[in-house]
C-alpha cells in the first residue's frame, strides 16, 4: 500500500508540474462598449450638436431619452427647460427625473431606463449626481446601456461625472472651496469616484474659458496613467464605439498626455514633468486614446 501511495503521489506531482509548464490560454480581449459618450464642456449648445445626440439616441432601443437633473440647483425648473430644448431639436420621447438616493436604491428603480436609447446629465454640481446615483441599480443599468449601444450624454457637471476619476471642482489648499488653480501642486485637486464610463482619461470642462490648465496638469502629472481631456464650452467629445475621441462643435479640446513623460515631485508638492504630449484639437479632429495619435480630419 505504501508503494502504491508513493507511486500515486509521484504521478500526481508529475501531472501538476506538466500542467504548470503548459502554455496558458491568452485572456480574452476586452470588448469595447457598443454605445457612444457625448460629452459637452458646458456653455451654449447649438442645434447641430443636439440633433447629432438625438440621432444617436434614436438608433438604440426605443430611442427614448432620459434626463437626470439632480446636478442642478433648481432641478425641477431645469427639467422642463431641457424637455423643451430636446423636443425643439426633434426628440419624440423624452422624460426627466430628479431622483433622491433613496429612490435610486429601491429595487426595480432602474425600470425608468427601459427602452432608453439616450441618457442626459444636466449641468450644475457633479457631486450631487454621484451622491444620488453612484453604486445604485440605476447606475448599474446606465453602465449596461452604454455597453449595449445607448448614448450617454451630458454637459458641464454632466461631462465631469462621466470619468471614473471625477474632478469635483474644489481645491484642497483653499479648504475645499472652488479652486483658483494658480499652482500645479500634488494632492490639491479634489476628486471622487465618477460613473466610470471613461476609465483611461479624466474629463475637465469649461476648459479654455475658465483657464483650468493648471488643474488638469496637476492631475495628469500625479496620475500619468490618465490622459487629461479638457473640453471647451459649446464643444463636445464624442467617444465612439471604436474607442476614439471625435471633436464636435465650436471650440478646442486640449489633451495632456504624461504616460511617456518623466514626472517629478518636489518635497513641497510642486509637480513637474518632461516629455509631456499636448494636443490642441479642433472640430473634426479624431484622437486615439490608446496610441496617443491624432487623425487628420476628413476633407
**Is 25 inside any structural domain?**
no
Structure confidence at residue 210 (pLDDT): 95
**Is 236 inside any structural domain?**
yes
DSSP tag of 23: P
Q: Are strands 189-193 and 177-178 parallel, antiparallel or unpaired?
A: unpaired
**Is 13 inside any structural domain?**
no
Q: Over its length of 299 residues, how does the chain's per-residue pLDDT go in tens digits?
A: 333 333 433 433 343 334 433 444 444 456 899 999 999 999 999 999 999 999 999 999 999 999 999 999 999 999 999 999 999 999 999 999 999 999 999 999 999 999 999 999 999 999 999 999 999 999 999 999 999 999 999 999 999 999 999 999 999 988 777 778 899 999 999 999 999 999 999 999 999 999 999 999 999 999 999 999 999 999 999 999 999 999 999 999 999 999 999 999 999 999 999 999 999 999 999 999 999 999 977 76
DSSP tag of 104: H
Selection from 162, 61, 198 nearest residue 118 by Cα: 61
What is the reported pTM? 0.88
**Is 270 inside any structural domain?**
yes
Domain range for residue 142?
A: 31-290
**Is 231 inside any structural domain?**
yes
**Is 188 inside any structural domain?**
yes
**Is 14 inside any structural domain?**
no
Q: Cell digits for 106? A: 429601491
* Cβ contacts of 171 within 8 Å, gap of 6 or more: 177, 178, 179, 180, 181, 188, 189, 190
- The CA angle 225-195-50, to the nearest 5 degrees, is 105
Structure confidence at residue 174 (pLDDT): 81
Nearest-Å Rg of the Cα atoms of the chain is 23
**Is 242 inside any structural domain?**
yes
| DSSP symbols for 235-246 | EEEEE-TTSEEE
Selection from 38, 40, 42, 39 nearest residue 209 by Cα: 42
User: What is the CATH classification number for the domain harbouring 246?
Assistant: 3.40.50.880
Q: Is 149 helix (H, G, I), strand (E, B) or coil?
A: coil
* Cβ contacts of 9 within 8 Å, gap of 6 or more: none
**In the chain, alpha helices (H):** 2-21, 47-58, 75-88, 101-105, 126-133, 137-148, 157-160, 213-222
| Number of domains the chain contains | 1
Amino acid at each position: 500500500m505504501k508503494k502504491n501511495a508513493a507511486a500515486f503521489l509521484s504521478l500526481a506531482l508529475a501531472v501538476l508540474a506538466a500542467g504548470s509548464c503548459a502554455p496558458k490560454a491568452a485572456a480574452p480581449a476586452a470588448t469595447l462598449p457598443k454605445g457612444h459618450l457625448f460629452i459637452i464642456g458646458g456653455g451654449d449648445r447649438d442645434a447641430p450638436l443636439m440633433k447629432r445626440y438625438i440621432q444617436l439616441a434614436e438608433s438604440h432601443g426605443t430611442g427614448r431619452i432620459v434626463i437626470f437633473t439632480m446636478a442642478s440647483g433648481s432641478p425641477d425648473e431645469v427639467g422642463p427647460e431641457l424637455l423643451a430644448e430636446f423636443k425643439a431639436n426633434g426628440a419624440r420621447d423624452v422624460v426627466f427625473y430628479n431622483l433622491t438616493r433613496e429612490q435610486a436604491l429601491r429595487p426595480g428603480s432602474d425600470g425608468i431606463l427601459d427602452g432608453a436609447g439616450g441618457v442626459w446629465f444636466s449641468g450644475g454640481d457633479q457631486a450631487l449626481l454621484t451622491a444620488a446615483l453612484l453604486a445604485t441599480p440605476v447606475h448599474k443599468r446606465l453602465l449596461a446601456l452604454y455597453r449595449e449601444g445607448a448614448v450617454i450624454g451630458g454637459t458641464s457637471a454632466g461631462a465631469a461625472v462621466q470619468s471614473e476619476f471625477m474632478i469635483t471642482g474644489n481645491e484642497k489648499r483653499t479648504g475645499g472651496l472652488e479652486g483658483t488653480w494658480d499652482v500645479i501642486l500634488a494632492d490639491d485637486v479634489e476628486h471622487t469616484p465618477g460613473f466610470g464610463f471613461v476609465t483611461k482619461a479624466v474629463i475637465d470642462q469649461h476648459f479654455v474659458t475658465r483657464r483650468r490648465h493648471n488643474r488638469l496638469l496637476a492631475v495628469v502629472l500625479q496620475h500619468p496613467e490618465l490622459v487629461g481631456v479638457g473640453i471647451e464650452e459649446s464643444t463636445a467629445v464624442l467617444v465612439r464605439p471604436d474607442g476614439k475621441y471625435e471633436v464636435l462643435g465650436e471650440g478646442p479640446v486640449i489633451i495632456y498626455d504624461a504616460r511617456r513623460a518623466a514626472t517629478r515631485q518636489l518635497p513641497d508638492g510642486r509637480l513637474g514633468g518632461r516629455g509631456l504630449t499636448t494636443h490642441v484639437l479642433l472640430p473634426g479632429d479624431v484622437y486615439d486614446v490608446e496610441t496617443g495619435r491624432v487623425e487628420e480630419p476628413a476633407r
